[in-house]
């Protein structure tokens, strides 16, 4: 694999580097959350409350200037985590670790030896990344049973810690990341913070007055829903997700966040408990594109422990400021205009295309002819790898082991029956069916061929001069949990991954950027798909778009004012937060 | 995970043809199933010629045996095939296990460069075609010593294919006839070893050792029998044979068992069997019952393994990142067949002797070191090394490196013999002394034990005279024309000289005296 920047040169001619400040969230908007004072990024000492709503870049600047200390920031985030416990975003809160890290970060700042932009920044990590000394569950009884504590850090986790980031905890997900709602984990579903936003509540009040306020809470999307909720609810500034078919971009779209799936091979998978090795990529969830770029800059690069990472050195990610899009060519894949697409998303999609066009970009319709085969092809490849990857969970070395000891085989069977949920077992069963000698050619090999065709579709389009593809991320905005569970996991995954998983099949970078609120007051995101290893260019375009659309900040003060009642309700729910 | 393994496959049919063309025809022996007339060449397993020939008896229907081998050879490397943990023989259980070896979730395989080089070199030595692109696959089965639930191997596109090994063996009465044969090698693949299961039947427990550096060689033999001209028979697989000797025994046993079974109206099941070395028989294995579907799948965490040659080497490539087949070819040591040919040419050595020299680890080097320091004839040296030295080593079950007699000491001894300072029987005595390893040189031993030959012609003549005087009857016999009588006189003279006189000199003196 090559990190070929020459292919991305279309942007090089006219970009200039400007100041590093993010332009997405005006200071005034931030204050809607906790604070009534708006001192601005270059003002005097800021209150920690103000800080929480800010972007990673802004808070990093504040830390460097001493407006706030890492410990203050950490404590504030911990208190929000406690307040928003009912969201079920975290499986494990690593309070002690975070405070200790904050203390060390503080010492460094005092000496003036900050490790970089992430020093002292609270982050969260999806609970399918190995964390040394911190329990890692994949939201499954299989690992939770005996409390699996990895003896090593995933490379991406280690890189964040090496930069001084504070690890707030491990976030909730669908069991082994198999799902698109963050509803199918052993710790229960994750609730979308937007369910409690002022924007959504006001719209709902207009429509109905009698419904139970909390029973209609929304799903976050998934499977990285815990990470999305954690960032969206201001408990941290960035979170790691994983993205196999859309698991980072989907919840990002539903939670009003930027969700980045880097190019396959740009970021190490070592330590990420795999779903589909050939498609998994560590994902990044942040409040703005700039923040995602900072985190990607830290994570990207060759890892000797992951042979599929690029060999070439990666340059630091500094996003040039794009002011002129007239030389850009935006592709609109016609196959993505499906009947299931909600009219609102559809109209925003076309609005976005118009925006580019009106600013001088060339916007053309393109064809990815094999798109319709993508989902079924993904199903075969995904379940096959799942069948293989899950084989190691046999109750012998780690994790859950049943009490049956008549024979090793009986122990395996019962352990796996008890340890995995229906979704995981179903995929293992399908996958093993596809891998059987008699089926291998007809299913697995065919699916691989189709995968090649799908990847070639993208190559053809990009070779024709298209710089980036613009597509919806999801069919619609987030739906209520009660609505979501009317369909089973498999149906949901097939539906919800429709726009996202082709990028995984082709290994391309893709980012979901929130565009606007729906009529219901819920976020809708659009997706940009770029050329392989042109992540920086992709993000540059995404940032331009982000700046144009001025997506509103989530207004959660109502929730916070009212949190005691929410907590009361929460006691009735069966979901418990493991700490 | 796993000690790196090289797997050489010579599956039944292909190997079979080589064997049938050669001498694997196997006739039903005497009713008791006598197998005593079989001979086989001894060498490393790749050269093992599985000859199982018996003289056909008139009127009996011939059987042909077909044998294919899957040879697992551990690569001599510092670390494992896919992890950085070390490889040591006899390390404490589970002391050399990395997170990857224990299959902790999230760990990934990283290919060991040294193992790839070893595989390429093996492929070149076995005249294989080296695949410039090879792939890794997962082979799935549940077993306690396979923590990932799959083994990484090279099923579809292995690193080397279509090789051959020409081997020779000695046949005939005095093993003096050298016969050349060719065994075909289907493929060579890099494969991670599974762990080791230790079954404790008493406590009905199985203990697992994930170190995996189990042994240097393990062979699975696929065996079937059929009548020549008829379709091949159903095969059985005898697993986990760990020495050439047991391999040979297991094959012999299994061929005979299958013949007996078929001739008694039974049938052969396609099954895996194990070899009981104590009982000398094969028995069905119980623990992997039923047909396995290994559900092979590409290993997604290892990109295709690309190899280069001088022509295809990308310009400016980092030598640490690429493997150049041509460079490995240059490093290939002299192959045994070439060395043997040289020995025959250079020293006039008998071919069968060249085999023995090469088959015993270190023996060739020992021989060459003796040659460097001695004026003795190569044939003499060969005889001493192969008969005397090897005989002593075998008797005490020692390796060449453990020999108490050094090449220099043997060279000095042979020099004494060469300039007739001692007799050959005295030389044997000196060798025995050297074997005791008391730090004495051959010259010291000769002088202490007074083993030097009598050089004093006059004294010898006197002794001969005295013997003739003392045995008039024997002298009479000689004179009467009994040709063997003189030997008796020689023997008598040697006895009084305490074997220190050269028999040819004695004979000359006696003949002269008898003629006068």
List all residues of chain B from 150 to 189 with a beta carbon under 8 Å from chain A: 150
- Packing angle of the helix pair B503-515, B485-496 (nearest 10 deg): 120
For residue A573 the two structure tokens come to: 């729910």
Report chain B residues whose CB lies below 8 A from the CB of A135: none
In the prediction, which pLDDT does B154 show?
95
Q: Is residue B148 less than 8 Å (CB to CB) from chain A?
A: yes
* Residue contacts between A and B (CB atoms, under 8 Å): 101
| DSSP codes joined into one string, A157-196 | HHHHHHTT-EEEEEE--SGGG--SSS--STT-PPBPGGGG
State yes or no: pLDDT of B48 exceeds 50.
no
CB atoms within 10 A of CB A28: 10
Contact A392 B321 (CB under 8 A): no
Output b/e per residue, A428-465; b: 16+ Cβ within 10 A: bebbbbbbeeebbeebbeebeebbeebbebbeebbeee
Average pLDDT, chain B: 83
pLDDT tens, chain A, 579 aa long: 333 334 443 333 333 333 333 333 333 333 333 332 333 333 344 455 456 678 898 999 999 999 999 999 999 999 999 999 999 999 999 999 999 999 999 999 999 999 999 999 999 999 999 999 999 999 999 999 889 999 999 999 999 999 999 999 999 999 999 999 999 999 999 999 999 999 999 988 877 655 555 678 999 999 999 999 999 999 999 999 999 999 999 999 999 999 999 999 999 999 999 999 999 999 999 999 999 999 999 999 999 999 999 988 887 778 888 889 999 999 999 999 999 999 999 999 999 999 999 999 999 999 999 999 999 999 999 999 999 999 999 998 899 999 998 888 999 999 999 999 999 999 999 999 999 999 999 999 999 999 999 999 999 999 999 999 999 999 999 999 999 999 888 888 888 889 999 999 999 999 999 999 999 999 999 999 999 999 999 999 999 999 999 999 999 875 565 444 433 333 333 333 333
Q: Which of A499, A515, A538, A464 is nearest to A335 (CA)?
A: A499
Extract the tokens encoding A110.
């005092």
A223 in catalytic set: yes
| Active-site residue identified among A223, A263, A476, A518 | A223
Residue B50 has a pLDDT of 42
Q: Which residues of A525-547 are buried (b: 16+ CB within 10 A; e: fewer)?
A: bbbbbbbbbbbbbbbbbbbbbbb
Binding-face residues of B in 266-295 toward A, CB within 8 A: 293, 295
Contact B414, B376 (CB under 8 A): yes
Backbone phi and psi for residue B70, each to the nearest 5 degrees, phi listed first = -115, 110
What are residue A168's phi and psi, to 5 degrees?
-80, -30
* Phi/psi at A513 (5° precision): -120, 130
Measure CB to CB from residue B302 to each of A307, A412, A435 and give the nearest one: A307
Q: pLDDT per residue over B261-276, tens digit each? A: 999 999 999 999 999 9
Q: Is the CB of B301 inside 8 Å of chain A's CB atoms? A: yes
Q: What is the pLDDT of residue A397?
A: 87
3-class DSSP assignment, residue A113: coil
How far from B355 is each of A99, A482, B165, B400, B401, CA to CA, in Å? Answer: 72, 81, 15, 16, 19
Burial of B429 (0-12, 13-18, 19+ CB in 10 A): middle
Residues A177 and A226 sit within 8 Å (Cβ to Cβ): no
CA distance A533 to A531: 6
Q: What is the pLDDT of residue B161?
A: 96
Query: Are B219 and B228 in contact, with CB atoms under 8 Å apart?
Result: no
> What stretch of H or E contains B70?
strand B62-74
Q: What b/e readout covers A327-347, taking b as 16+ CB neighbours within 10 angstroms?
A: ebbbbbbebbeeeebeebbbe
Q: Contact B105/A392, CB-based, under 8 Å?
A: yes
How many percent of chain B have pLDDT more than 70?
87
Separation of alpha carbons B244 and B151, rounded Å: 26
Tell me how close the Cα of B365 comes to any Cα of chain A, in angstroms: 42
Q: A445 to chain B nearest CA, in Å?
A: 10
Strand pairing class (A281-286; A362-366): unpaired
Residue of B108, B141, B149, B192 to mutate when probing chain A, most A C-beta within 10 A: B108
Which residues touch A267 (CB under 8 Å, ≥6 apart)?
A156, A281, A282, A296, A299, A300, A301, A309
Residue B108 with chain A: CB contacts under 8 Å: 269-270, 305-307
Q: What is the Cα–Cα distance from A300 to A5, expressed in whole angstroms?
A: 15
For residue A543, the surrounding DSSP H or E stretch is helix A535-549
Q: What is the pLDDT of residues B383-436, one digit of tens each?
A: 999 999 999 999 999 999 999 999 999 999 999 999 888 888 889 999 999 998
Q: End-to-end distance of chain B based on CA atoms, in angstroms?
A: 87
Of B321 and A341, the structure prediction assigns the larger pLDDT to: A341
For the segment B378-385, the average pLDDT, to the nearest whole number, is 94
Classify the C-alpha dihedral A431-A434-A437-A443 as positive or negative. negative
Helix (H) or strand (E) run with residue B276 in it: strand B272-276
**Are B102 and A397 in contact (CB < 8 Å)?**
yes
Angle at A438 between CA A434 and CA A440, to 5 degrees: 40
Q: Beta-strand (E) ranges in B277-376?
A: 281-284, 297-298, 305-306
Contact assignment for A277 to B301 by CB distance below 8 Å: yes
Quick check: B107 and B100 in contact, CB under 8 A? yes
B99 touches chain A (CB under 8 A): yes
B104 to chain A, any CB pair closer than 8 A? The answer is yes
Closest-CA residue to A158 (of A130, A120, A127, A135): A130
Q: How far apart are CA A426 and CA A225, in angstroms?
A: 22
Question: How far is Cα B358 from Cα A335, in angstroms, rounded to an integer?
Answer: 70
8 Å CB contact of B297 and A278? no
Chain B interface disruption, residue of A272, A273, A394, most B CBs within 10 A:
A394
HSE, CB side, 13 Å, CA atoms: give it for residue B164: 8
Would you state the pLDDT for residue B44? 27
Report CB contact under 8 Å: A272, B206: no
CA distance A122 to A167: 6
Which pLDDT score, from 0 to 100, does residue A204 have?
86
b/e per residue A5-23 (b: at least 16 CB within 10 A): eeebebbeeeeeeeeeebe
Residue B32 DSSP SS3: coil
B120 to chain A, minimum CA–CA distance in Å? 20
Residues of B whose CB is below 8 A from A396? 144, 147, 208
Contact: A388, B206; criterion CB under 8 Å: no
* Bond from prior residue into A223 cis (ω within 30 degrees of 0): yes
Instruction: Name the residue of chain B whose CA is nearest to A272's CA.
Output: B106
Question: Which value, in Å, is the radius of gyration of the alpha carbons in chain A?
Answer: 22
Residue B108 distance to chain A (closest CA, Å):
6
User: How many CA atoms within 13 Å lie on the side-chain side of A313?
Assistant: 2
Chain B stretch 207-246, residues whose beta carbon is closer than 8 A to a beta carbon of chain A: 208
pLDDT over 70 at B289, yes or no: no
Check if A126 is active-site. yes
What's the confidence (pLDDT) of residue B201?
Answer: 84
Contact A255, A293 (CB under 8 A): no
The residue with tokens 């060395």 is B339
B161 DSSP β-pair partners: B129, B187
ipTM of the complex: 0.88
* Alpha-carbon distance B78 to nearest alpha carbon in chain A (angstroms): 18
- Catalytic residue chosen out of the listed positions A76, A83, A85, A126: A126
Using an 8 Å CB-CB cutoff, list chain A residues near B206.
408
* Residues A432/B293, Cβ–Cβ less than 8 Å: no
Q: With CB atoms and an 8 Å threshold, state whether A444 touches B297.
A: yes
Cβ contact (<8 Å) for A130 and B106? yes
**Which of B109, B138, B295 is best to mutate for the A interface (most A CBs within 10 A)?**
B295
Nearest chain A Cα distance for residue B387, angstroms: 54
Smallest CA–CA distance, residue B285 to chain A, in Å, is: 16
Distance of CA B348 to the CA centre of its chain: 23
| Predicted pLDDT of residue B507 | 87
Q: Which residues of A touch B103 (CB under 8 A)?
A: 392, 397
User: Who's near A472: CB < 8 A, 6+ residues apart?
Assistant: A336, A341, A345, A346, A349, A499, A526, A527
pLDDT-derived band at B83 (thresholds 50, 70, 90) equals confident
A307 interaction partners in chain B (CB closer than 8 Å)? 108-111, 301-303
Are A538 and A17 in contact, with CB atoms under 8 Å apart? no
Long-range CB contacts (within 8 A, 24+) of B36-40: B38/B252, B39/B169, B39/B171, B40/B169, B40/B248
B149 part of contact set with chain A, CB < 8 Å: yes
Gap between the terminal Cα atoms of chain A = 41
pLDDT class of B173 with cuts at 50, 70, 90 = confident
């Amino acid at each position: 694999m090559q990190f070929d920047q020459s292919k991305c040169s279309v942007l090089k001619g006219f970009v200039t580097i400007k100041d590093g400040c993010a332009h997405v969230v005006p200071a005034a908007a931030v204050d809607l959350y906790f604070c009534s004072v708006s001192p601005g990024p270059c003002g005097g000492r800021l209150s920690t409350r103000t800080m929480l709503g800010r972007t990673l870049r802004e808070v990093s600047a504040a830390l460097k200037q001493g407006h706030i200390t890492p410990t203050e920031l950490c404590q504030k985030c911990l208190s929000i985590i406690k307040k928003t416990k009912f969201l079920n975003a975290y499986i494990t809160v690593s309070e002690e670790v975070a405070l200790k890290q904050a203390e060390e970060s503080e010492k460094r700042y005092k000496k003036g030896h900050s490790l970089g932009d992430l020093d002292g920044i609270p982050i969260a990590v999806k609970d399918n990344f190995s964390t040394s000394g911190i329990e890692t569950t994949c939201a499954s009884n299989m690992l939770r049973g005996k409390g699996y504590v990895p003896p090593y850090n995933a490379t991406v986790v280690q890189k964040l810690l090496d930069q001084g980031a504070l690890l707030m905890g491990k976030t909730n997900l669908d069991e082994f990341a198999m799902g698109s709602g963050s509803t199918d984990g052993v710790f229960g579903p994750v609730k979308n913070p937007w369910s409690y936003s002022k924007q959504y509540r006001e719209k709902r009040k207009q429509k109905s007055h009698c419904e139970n306020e909390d029973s209609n809470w929304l799903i976050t999307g998934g499977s990285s829903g815990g990470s999305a909720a954690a960032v969206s609810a201001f408990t941290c500034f960035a979170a790691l997700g994983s993205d196999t078919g859309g698991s980072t971009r989907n919840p990002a779209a539903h939670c009003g966040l930027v969700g980045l799936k880097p190019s396959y091979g740009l970021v190490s998978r070592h330590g990420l408990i795999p779903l589909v090795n050939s498609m998994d990529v560590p994902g990044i969830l942040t409040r703005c594109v700039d923040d995602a770029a900072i985190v990607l800059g830290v994570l990207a690069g060759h890892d000797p422990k992951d042979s599929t990472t690029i060999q070439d050195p990666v340059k630091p990610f500094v996003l040039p400021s794009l002011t002129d899009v007239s030389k850009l060519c935006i592709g609109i894949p016609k196959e993505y205009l499906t009947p299931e697409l909600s009219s609102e998303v559809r109209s925003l999609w076309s609005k976005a295309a118009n925006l580019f066009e009106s600013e001088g970009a060339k916007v053309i319709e393109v064809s990815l002819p094999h798109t319709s085969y993508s989902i079924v092809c993904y199903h075969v490849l995904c379940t096959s790898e799942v069948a293989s990857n899950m084989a190691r969970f046999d109750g012998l070395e780690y994790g859950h082991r049943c009490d049956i000891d008549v024979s090793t085989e009986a122990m395996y069977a019962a352990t796996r029956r008890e340890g995995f949920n229906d979704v995981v077992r179903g995929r293992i069963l399908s996958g093993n069916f596809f891998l059987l000698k008699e089926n291998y050619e007809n299913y697995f090999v065919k699916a691989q061929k189709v995968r090649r065709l799908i990847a070639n579709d993208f190559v053809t389009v990009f070779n024709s001069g298209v710089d980036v593809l613009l597509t919806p991320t999801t069919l619609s905005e987030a739906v209520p949990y009660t609505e979501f569970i009317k369909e089973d996991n498999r149906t949901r995954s097939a539906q919800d991954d429709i726009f996202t998983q082709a990028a995984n099949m082709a290994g391309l970078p893709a980012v979901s950027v929130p565009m606007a609120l729906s009529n219901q007051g819920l976020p809708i995101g659009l997706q940009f798909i770029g050329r392989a290893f042109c992540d920086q260019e992709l993000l540059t375009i995404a940032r331009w778009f982000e700046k144009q659309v001025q997506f509103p900040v989530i207004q959660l003060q109502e929730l916070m004012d009212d949190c005691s009642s929410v907590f009361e309700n929460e006691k009735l729910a069966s979901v418990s937060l493991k700490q | 995970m796993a000690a790196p393994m090289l797997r050489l496959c010579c599956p039944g049919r292909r190997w079979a043809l080589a064997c049938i063309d050669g001498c694997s025809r196997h006739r039903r022996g005497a009713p008791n199933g006598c197998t005593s007339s079989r001979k086989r060449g001894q060498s490393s397993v790749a050269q093992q010629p599985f000859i199982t020939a018996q003289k056909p008896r008139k009127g009996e229907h011939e059987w042909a045996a077909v044998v294919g081998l899957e040879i697992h050879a551990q690569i001599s490397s510092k670390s494992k095939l896919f992890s950085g943990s070390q490889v040591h023989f006899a390390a404490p259980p589970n002391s050399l296990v990395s997170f990857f070896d224990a299959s902790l979730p999230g760990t990934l395989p990283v290919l060991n460069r040294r193992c790839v080089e070893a595989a390429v070199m093996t492929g070149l030595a076995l005249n294989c075609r080296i695949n410039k692109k090879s792939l890794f696959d997962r082979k799935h089965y549940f077993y306690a010593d396979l923590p990932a639930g799959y083994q990484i191997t090279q099923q579809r596109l292995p690193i080397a294919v279509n090789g051959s090994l020409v081997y020779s063996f000695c046949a005939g009465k005095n093993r003096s006839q050298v016969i050349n044969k060719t065994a075909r090698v289907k493929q060579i693949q890099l494969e991670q070893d599974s762990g080791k299961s230790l079954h404790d039947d008493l406590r009905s427990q199985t203990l697992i050792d994930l170190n995996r550096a189990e042994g240097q060689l393990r062979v699975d033999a696929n065996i079937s029998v059929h009548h020549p001209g008829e379709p091949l028979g159903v095969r059985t697989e005898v697993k986990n044979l760990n020495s050439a000797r047991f391999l040979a025994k297991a094959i012999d046993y299994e061929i005979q068992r299958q013949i007996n079974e078929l001739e008694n109206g039974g049938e052969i099941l396609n099954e895996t069997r194990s070899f009981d070395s104590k009982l000398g028989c094969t028995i069905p294995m119980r623990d992997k019952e039923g047909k396995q579907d290994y559900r092979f799948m590409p290993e997604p965490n290892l990109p295709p393994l690309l190899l280069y040659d001088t022509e295809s080497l990308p310009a400016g490539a980092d030598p640490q990142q690429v493997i150049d087949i041509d460079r490995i070819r240059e490093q290939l040591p002299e192959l045994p067949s070439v060395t043997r040919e040289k020995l025959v040419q250079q020293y006039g050595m008998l071919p069968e002797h060249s085999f023995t020299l090469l088959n015993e680890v270190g023996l060739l080097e020992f021989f060459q070191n003796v040659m460097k320091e001695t004026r003795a004839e190569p044939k003499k040296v060969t005889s001493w090394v192969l008969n005397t030295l090897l005989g002593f080593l075998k008797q005490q079950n020692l390796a060449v490196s453990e020999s108490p007699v050094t090449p220099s000491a043997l060279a000095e001894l042979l020099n004494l013999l060469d300039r007739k300072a001692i007799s050959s029987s005295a030389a044997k005595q000196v060798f025995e002394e050297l074997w005791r390893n008391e730090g004495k040189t051959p010259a010291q031993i000769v002088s202490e034990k007074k083993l030097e030959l009598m050089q004093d012609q006059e004294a010898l003549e006197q002794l001969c005279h005295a013997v003739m005087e003392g045995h008039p009857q024997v002298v009479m016999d000689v004179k009467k024309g009994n040709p063997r009588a003189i030997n008796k006189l020689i023997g008598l003279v040697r006895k009084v000289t305490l074997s220190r006189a050269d028999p040819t000199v004695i004979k000359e003196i006696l003949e002269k005296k008898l003629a006068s």
